C-alpha cells in the first residue's frame, strides 16, 4: 500500500445476488457509489483530509511516544470496534487514521487483523482489498500478544474490551509489549466511581500506575471522531514497581454485576460462563 498511491481494490467487483440486493443497492446509492472501489475512494478522501487538515501531523508525536523508550516497536496490529465505515464518516476517518498509522510504524497490512460484528460483506471486501485480515471470531478483546509487540487500535470501544485485553496479558512482560490507542484511561478513572472501576474493571484500575498516556490533539473537524482518545503504553520498569499483589489476582472478568456493559458478547463464551 503506497503512501501516495492507492488503496485500490485488487479484484473486480462481483455481482450481488439474493433477496437483499435491493436494500444493499439503496444503501450504496445513499453512500455515493457502488462496490468496493467506492468505499476505497472515500477512504482516500478521508486520508487526504487527515493530511491536509494537519491532524495527522499533529498526532504524530503521540503516535511515536511509545517508541522513545527501550520497548520494541509494534510488529502487529489488532483493531476492534471500528464500525460501519462505508456509511459512517467517523468510522471512515478512524480507518484512514489506522492505515496512516500502519505506514508510520511500518507494520505490513497483512499483520493487521480487525473485528467488528457490524462489518458488511462490502466492508469486509474493502478491508481484504487493502491487504488487511479479519479475525474469525469475537474475541471480546481477550487477545494475548505472545512474544510479539502489538498495537491495539480501539477507538471509542467499551471499557470491558480494554479490561479483557489487559487481563489476557496480565504480566509485566506481556503488558510491556502492548500499545493501546483508544479511550483515555485517565478519563475512565475520572468518570467512574472508584468502587465501580475496581469492581467491574479491576484490571484497568490496577494498571493505571504502570501506564504512560499521551492524548491525541483536539481538532475542530474531528471532535466527535477522536475525542477522549489517547495512546497508552506500559513501560516494563513502571510495571515492575507495582506491588507483587497486583499480579496475584488473575481471575477472568465476568461482569455479572455490571449494569452498563458496553460490549457485544461472544455467545459461545457467554454460555460457558453462565
pLDDT of residue 256: 80
Report the distance separating Cα 201 and Cα 3, nearest Å. Answer: 39
Residue 5 is given by DSSP the state: S
Q: What CATH number is given for 39-273 in this structure? A: 3.40.50
Mean per-residue pLDDT of the chain: 87
pLDDT of residue 68: 83
Cβ contact 236:176 at 8 Å:
yes
**C-alpha cell, 98:** 489506522
**C-alpha cell, 32:** 455515493
User: Which among 126, 131, 87, 103 is positioned nearest to 47, based on CA atoms?
Assistant: 103
When comparing pLDDT for 24 and 117, which is higher?
117
pLDDT of residue 257: 76
pLDDT of residue 220: 93
What pLDDT digit, counting tens, does each position of 77-93 carry?
999 999 999 999 999 99
Least confident range of 22-26, 53-57, 98-102: 22-26
pLDDT of residue 20: 46
**Is the pLDDT score of 270 beyond 70?**
no
Helix (H) or strand (E) segment spanning residue 125? helix 121-129
Report the distance separating Cα 54 and Cα 60, nearest Å. Answer: 10
Q: Using pLDDT thresholds of 50, 70 and 90, give the confidence band for residue 24.
A: very low
Cβ contact 127:134 at 8 Å:
yes
What pLDDT digit, counting tens, does each position of 183-218 carry?
999 999 999 999 999 999 999 999 999 999 999 999
Strands 212-215 and 178-183, by their bridges, are unpaired
Domain chopping of the chain, boundaries: 39-273
The structure's pTM equals 0.86
Question: CA 162, 165, 170, 175 torsion: positive or negative?
Answer: negative
Helix (H, G, I), strand (E, B), or coil: what is residue 38? helix
pLDDT of residue 33: 52
**Is the pLDDT score of 139 beyond 90?**
yes
Helix (H, G, I), strand (E, B), or coil: what is residue 179? strand
Query: Distance of CA 145 to CAs 24, 65, 118, 161, 213, Å?
Result: 37, 20, 25, 15, 20
Helix (H, G, I), strand (E, B), or coil: what is residue 54? coil
Angle at the Cα of 36 from the Cα atoms of 32 and 40, rounded to 5 degrees:
75
**Is the pLDDT score of 30 beyond 70?**
no
Amino acid at each position: 500500500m503506497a503512501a501516495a498511491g492507492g488503496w485500490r481494490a485488487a479484484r473486480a467487483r462481483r455481482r450481488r445476488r439474493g433477496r437483499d440486493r435491493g436494500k444493499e443497492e439503496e444503501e450504496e446509492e445513499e453512500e455515493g457509489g457502488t462496490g468496493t472501489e467506492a468505499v476505497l475512494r472515500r477512504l482516500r478522501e478521508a486520508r487526504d483530509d487527515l493530511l491536509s487538515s494537519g491532524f495527522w501531523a499533529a498526532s504524530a508525536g503521540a503516535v511515536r511516544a511509545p517508541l522513545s523508550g527501550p520497548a520494541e516497536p509494534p510488529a502487529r496490529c489488532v483493531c476492534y470496534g471500528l464500525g460501519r465505515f462505508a456509511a459512517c464518516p467517523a468510522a471512515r476517518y478512524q480507518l484512514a487514521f489506522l492505515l496512516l498509522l500502519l505506514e508510520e510504524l511500518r507494520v505490513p497490512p497483512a499483520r493487521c487483523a480487525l473485528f467488528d460484528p457490524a462489518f458488511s460483506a462490502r466492508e469486509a471486501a474493502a478491508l481484504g482489498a487493502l491487504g488487511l485480515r479479519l479475525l474469525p471470531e469475537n474475541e471480546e478483546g481477550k487477545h494475548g500478544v505472545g512474544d510479539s509487540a502489538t498495537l491495539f487500535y480501539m477507538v471509542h470501544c467499551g471499557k470491558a474490551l480494554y479490561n479483557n485485553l489487559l487481563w489476557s496479558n496480565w504480566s509485566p512482560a506481556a503488558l510491556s509489549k502492548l500499545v493501546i490507542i483508544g479511550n483515555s484511561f485517565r478519563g475512565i478513572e475520572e468518570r467512574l466511581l472508584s468502587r465501580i472501576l475496581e469492581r467491574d474493571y479491576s484490571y484497568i484500575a490496577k494498571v493505571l500506575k504502570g501506564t504512560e498516556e499521551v492524548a491525541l490533539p483536539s481538532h475542530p473537524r474531528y471532535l466527535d471522531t477522536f475525542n477522549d482518545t489517547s495512546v497508552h503504553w506500559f513501560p516494563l520498569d513502571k510495571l515492575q514497581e507495582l506491588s507483587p499483589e497486583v499480579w496475584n489476582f488473575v481471575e477472568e472478568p465476568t461482569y455479572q454485576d455490571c449494569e452498563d456493559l458496553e460490549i457485544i458478547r461472544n455467545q459461545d463464551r457467554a454460555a460457558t460462563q453462565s
